[in-house]
Amino acid sequence: MEEMNLEVLSGKRILFVDDDPYTRKALERMLASRCGEVLLAEDGSAGWELIQSDKPDLVITDIEMPNMNGLELLEKVKELNPAEPVVVITAFEDEAHEAKQADAILIKPVHRESLLRTLVSVLASRV
């Protein structure tokens, strides 16, 4: 298996938006030692506020959330900055949940190796 260049994550500010507190904490623990900063939001509205104030290097978002779902958040992010990398994580694989503007889509359950490989790939393509 090809070696991942986790250095790409070093110093990056990553925003994770998910309404499940357990999932947010698990991802924060996984990324905290590899990134510069992990920002957390419980829904799309809170995520949008953090995007505007904290300018993350990459956004990871769930789709099904209250207040503003991940597809709406994705659309707003790409409107603001089409180059902003957005990774969508979802449990759904149907047309209603298609995230065509996303830089990558991961289907739950997401395994650590798969997530890290995706983040490295998306960020490395921006360098």
The answer to whether 48 and 76 are in contact (CB under 8 A) is yes
pTM equals 0.93
Maximum Cα interatomic distance, the chain, rounded to a whole number of Å: 41
For residue 38, what are the β-bridge partners?
14
Q: What whole-number distance in Å separates Cα of residue 112 and Cα of residue 70?
A: 21
Domains of the chain: 9-124 (3.40.50.2300)
Tens digit of each residue's pLDDT (9 = 90 or more) over 22-74: 999 999 999 999 999 999 999 999 999 999 999 999 999 999 999 999 999 99
Whole-number pLDDT of residue 1:
39
